[in-house]
Amino acid sequence: MRDIHLGTLVKRKMKERDISINEFAEAIHCDRTNVYNIFKRKSMDVQLIVRISNALNYDFLQYYHEGLNNKNNVNPRLEIIVQKYDDEWVVEKIKEI
């Protein structure tokens, strides 16, 4: 997964959308202090990311999806497990994990 600082990305997108701290805080159901704390966070709870994504009309989860879809980031232990199975359906289900 790429090394990202989600709080910085949120702050940048908020400025691009010309949304004030007060408007943003109201949209994600928190107070201004929490918004400033969000800007400092490298990672966040998924529920918060979804609320922020909805408020800013931008999919911040995409940065995590990119890491999951990158074939170079395959867990070596998972590769060993996959190699043990001959059933294609089982292999596909394991890769989905």
Tens digit of each residue's pLDDT (9 = 90 or more) over 27-69: 999 999 999 999 999 989 889 999 999 999 999 888 776 655 5
21 and 53 within one domain = yes
Check whether residue 55 and residue 65 sit in a common domain: no
Give the Cα separation of 75 and 15 in Å (integer).
Answer: 37
Q: How does residue 4 score in pLDDT terms, banded at 50, 70 and 90?
A: confident
- Taking the model in full, what pTM does it have? 0.65
User: Can you give the pLDDT at residue 59?
Assistant: 92
Q: How far apart are CA 91 and CA 97, in angstroms?
A: 10
End-to-end CA distance of the chain: 16
Range of the domain at 85: 61-97
Helix (H) or strand (E) holding 82: helix 76-84
What is the count of structural domains for the chain?
2
Is the pLDDT higher at 80 or at 17? 17
85, pLDDT greater than 60:
no
Instruction: Tell me the CATH number at 15.
Output: 1.10.260.40
CA distance 8 to 79: 34
Rounded distance, CA 78 to CA 83, Å? 9
